[in-house]
Amino acid sequence: MVKKIVGSGIVFGMVAFLALPFAREVYARHTVMRHLDGVISASDRAAFANWSGSAQAFAATLRDRCLRENIGRASACERYRTATN
């Protein structure tokens, strides 16, 4: 009986350990999308759905693109900066 409980605890711990990185990335994607929801275009939304990197990296690329398009007006890109924090 004790072996079953200990074995079940070990299996549960291993599953939780292996699932944690995926859960963090899902949460990060949700958080970034919530911050960018009213800001990004439909094409950026589709690009985010196909993005294989981290959510923060996607938000950073959007901010970099905005900074290149709005040279000298960094305030125009603040909406992207809040999503990367």
Calpha distance 22→18 (Å, rounded): 8
Return the ∠ at Cα 66 (arms to 70 and 37), rounded to 5°: 135
pTM higher than 0.75: no
Distance CA 69, CA 63 (A): 10
More confident call, 85 vs 8: 8
pLDDT at residue 21 is higher than 70: yes
Cα 21–chain centre separation: 12
Rounded to a whole number, what is the distance in angstroms from the first to the last CA of the chain? 48
pLDDT per position as a tens digit, 22-50: 999 889 888 888 888 888 888 988 998 89
What would the two tokens of residue 62 be?
Answer: 């959007």
pLDDT at 85: 61
Report pLDDT digits (tens) over 7-16: 899 999 999 9
